[in-house]
Homo-oligomer: A and B are copies of this chain.
Amino acid sequence: MSFRTGTLVVVGVGLIGGSVALALKARGAVARVVGVGRSRANLDDALAAGIVDGACTLADRWTDEVARADAVLLAAPVAQFGALFAAMAPRLPVHALLTDAGSTKADVVAAAREHLGAAFARFVPAHPIAGTERSGAKAASPTLYEGRQVILTPDAGTSATAVDAVAALWEACGARVSRLDAARHDRIYAAVSHFPHMLSATYMASIAARPDAGDLTSFAGTGFRDMTRISASSPEMWRDIGMANRAALLEELRAFRGPLDALERALRDGDAQSLEALLAVAAWARRSWAAQRTDPGAVE
């Protein structure tokens, strides 16, 4: 199914939302993109870069734009979704599609169910597995989604037609679309995305707290670079992800303490064999994972 739409309203024209706009424009799949956001400066960047054709801030009458939309993409931090859904629900045309790009899904589905009313059936929750540590419209790229996964987590109450149309929208961005139950999505991404993100940030914050942090990090190499890259991401966005998915994250953190304690014991006891066993399991698992990946950019 190929995707074409008239007016797309993107709420949150950052790396994620801006890249959808650019990808659809590059494919000729959208006639007009209107950007909505908090920061006038960022919207001006988006206009200057040709990412959006029109723009208004959340302080303006942005729901007038929603009333003219054929499709709406929410790409703002997930904690704002409740208020955004509530504001747009009465204005959303009956034919308009709605999707999002939030990294958590159960909370987003709950907020949509609470605030969207009849439009809930046309909201297809989505999580694009793409992104970099950069943020803002200037970081957007038409190729961000090429070959990447986008997970849809439709509810029992979601229209099958809307699911197909939103799948086509993300495929038009170059993505491979799959589907998961929202709760299972959140547990999986706590394990393979949200928790490692928190671990990276916690490590980076612990180094930053040292009196000699600048001296220490001047000696750092590529291992440090890669371990800490994601910690440069938007604190606000990840705060919201952390709060939205905190039950699953707490489970991950508690599960991690077992292997961490085992590492401490091996070091304390000078137990080279146990340390090597832990390292060997990790190396085998990481090499197997890399060998199975085929997406561009997923593995160096």
Contacts and interface: CB of A to CB of B under 8 A. Distances in A.
B270 A243 contact: yes
A209 interface: yes
Interface residues of A, number: 95
A278 B205 contact: yes
Contacts of A299: 225
A246 interface: yes
A123 to B, nearest CB: 22
A257 to B, nearest CB: 8
A192 B226 CA distance: 12
Contacts of A267: 242, 246, 249-250, 253
Interface string A266-297: 11101010011011111111110110100001
A239 B192 contact: no
A206 interface: yes
A299 B280 CA distance: 28
Contacts of A219: 129, 149, 151, 188-189, 192
12 contacts: A192-B219, A192-B220, A193-B221, A202-B263, A222-B298, A225-B300, A231-B285, A232-B287, A235-B280, A239-B272, A239-B276, A242-B267
A258 B198 contact: no
A228 interface: yes
Contacts of A242: 266-267, 272, 275, 279
Interface of A: 79, 129-133, 148-149, 151, 188-189, 191-193, 195-210, 213, 215-236, 238-240, 242-243, 246, 249-250, 253-256, 258-260, 262-264, 266-268, 270, 272, 275-276, 278-287, 289-290, 292, 297-300
Nearest to A200: B227
Given A206-B255, A231-B286, A253-B264, 5 more contacts: A148-B221, A200-B223, A201-B278, A202-B256, A235-B279
A130 B206 CA distance: 24
Given A235-B280, A282-B231, A197 B222 contact: no
A202 B286 contact: no
Contacts of A227: 196, 199-200, 226-227, 230
